Amino acid sequence: MTTGDDRFLSGSGFSFTGPVPLALTVAGSDSGGGAGIQADLKTFTAYGVFGTSAVTGITAQNTRGVTQVQALDPALVTAQLDAVLDDIGTHAAKTGMLANAAIIEAVAGSLERRGVTNLVVDPVMISATGHRLLDPDAVDALKKRLLPLALAATPNLPETAALIGKPVGSLLEMQQAARELFAMGCRYAIVKGGHLPVDLGEGAGELQRAREGLDGPVAIREIQAPASPEYPWSGPRTAVEGGEPAAPRAAEAVPGRWAVDVVYDGASFTLLKAPYFKTRNTHGTGCTFSAAIAAGLALGLEPIEAIVEAKRFITQAIAYSLDIGQGHGPTNHLLRFSPAPDGGERRTRGEAYGTATG
């Protein structure tokens, strides 16, 4: 009988009956493992997608902050992209920390030459603990060279403010900002609202104002709080300390408060409404969300469905985040990587991450 300890060796994880889905991350390395290429590759794995990478810089960081950053030579970044794309190729790609204008130019040139169109741009500028990860003079290069190549752009509110040149502090302003980002060339502008928990109780006045504030239809996609998940190590395995069986424990959802992202495709808005959780463990949420979109695109999902599924993925990963380190812990990237129980049927990729892949 297969046990919880040997399922990974038994072949009860993902299998491929057709071409292997491929996703590329172009980002910095996080020594703490919660963000950057480490988070991206874990997310690709959770989706059943084979991940490749081009490292743009090295960061020394942990849950408490970033202590040092070293950007790589743009020529080395280009060489990594050439090595991956000339041989393996990719079905989708995402960018994260790009550090400076020279690396942005190198990345944009490489992706443009090879016609990579399923590109998700996460315009990483400042770490969650306040360390700058993009030179101030590189914002213009990001706007002019990379955003026009993007299928989707995923800035948070501070990054959105830097891109459009003015603060964003309400749902209505998020919608207006999404229109401005779309005008910069991306096909789906996603303004993330995690920094602005919205109160949708007592008549949902702010939501109604947002729906009425701009011309064009507004749809709402609600992401439910996740149910208790299966874990790859559930069963006979025990916790590292105490000897009791390991059991997932969800963070508390704050009543009446929601994390709302605004998506604009040039014709209509979609508001992604998810629970807002009371947790400090949100390190790497932006990296994980953008990687999840890229993974969904690599699996053949339509863009809006890849975005919605990514919102569901990050919501679950935050709800069951990992309380490690002394600062802001990481989200739980492998939450939904749940092999079949002993003697059960193997899950397909679609069943494992919660949507049909076709």
Q: Which residues are tagged catalytic? A: 192, 282, 284-287
HEC string for the chain: CCCCCCHHHHCCCCCCCCCCCEEEEEEEEECCCCCHHHHHHHHHHHHCCEEEEEEEEEEEEECCEEEEEEECCHHHHHHHHHHHHHHCCCCEEEECCCECHHHHHHHHHHHHHCCCCCEEECCCCECCCCCECECHHHHHHHHHHHHHHCCEECCCHHHHHHHHCCCCCCHHHHHHHHHHHHHCCCCEEEECCCCCCEECCCCCHHHHHHHHHCCCCEEEEECCCCCCCCCCCCCCCECCCCCCECCCCCCEEEEEEEEEEEEECCCCEEEEEEEEEECCCCECHHHHHHHHHHHHHHCCCCHHHHHHHHHHHHHHHHHCCCCCCCCCCECCCCCCCCCCCCCCCCCCHHHHHCCCCC
